[in-house]
């Protein structure tokens, strides 16, 4: 029988981060690690059918097999499209420059 590997499962909210260390059998996938970690009971809002996972900041598939010391990250959905936010900021900047105001 193979020895277990050590991995971490991480989920971050705006003001709180949860990091769980696990020892899992070789061949465990990213999704398996999330499920056995118990994090889904603590955060029932996590829907694995819609939630994206990553390993050390790189998007990964749920069936990716983990290696020793991998950190599985559970990503929350974006509230706003970053491109749209930058576009709006750029437009606001142009409007402000044109206005000049009454100084």
pTM, two decimals, is: 0.73
Count of domains for the chain: 1
- With 90 as the cut, is the pLDDT of residue 73 above it? yes
Q: What is the side-by-side strand order in the sheet with 5-13? A: 16-24, 5-13, 71-75, 52-55, 58-60
The span from the CA of 80 to the CA of 6, in Å, is 35
Answer whether residue 81 shows pLDDT above 80: no
What residues make up the domain containing 88?
5-99
pLDDT at site 83: 79
User: How far is residue 61's CA from residue 73's CA, in Å, rounded to a whole number?
Assistant: 12
Write out pLDDT tens, residues 83-100.
777 877 887 775 544 555
7 has which bridge partners? 22
Q: What is the CATH number of the domain that holds 17?
A: 3.10.20.280
Give the residue among 7, 16, 6 at the shortest CA–CA distance from 76. 16
Of 29-33, 56-60, 87-91, give the lowest mean pLDDT range: 87-91
């Amino acid at each position: 029988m193979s020895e277990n590997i050590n991995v971490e499962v991480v989920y971050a909210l705006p003001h709180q981060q949860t990091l769980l260390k696990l020892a899992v059998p070789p061949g465990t996938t990213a999704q398996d690690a999330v499920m056995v970690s118990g994090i889904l009971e603590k955060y029932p809002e996590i829907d694995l059918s819609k939630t994206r996972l990553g390993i050390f900041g790189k998007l990964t598939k749920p069936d990716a097999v983990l290696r020793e010391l991998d950190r599985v990250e559970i990503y929350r959905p974006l509230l706003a499209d970053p491109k749209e936010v930058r576009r709006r900021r750029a437009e606001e900047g142009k409007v402000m420059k044109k206005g000049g105001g009454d100084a």
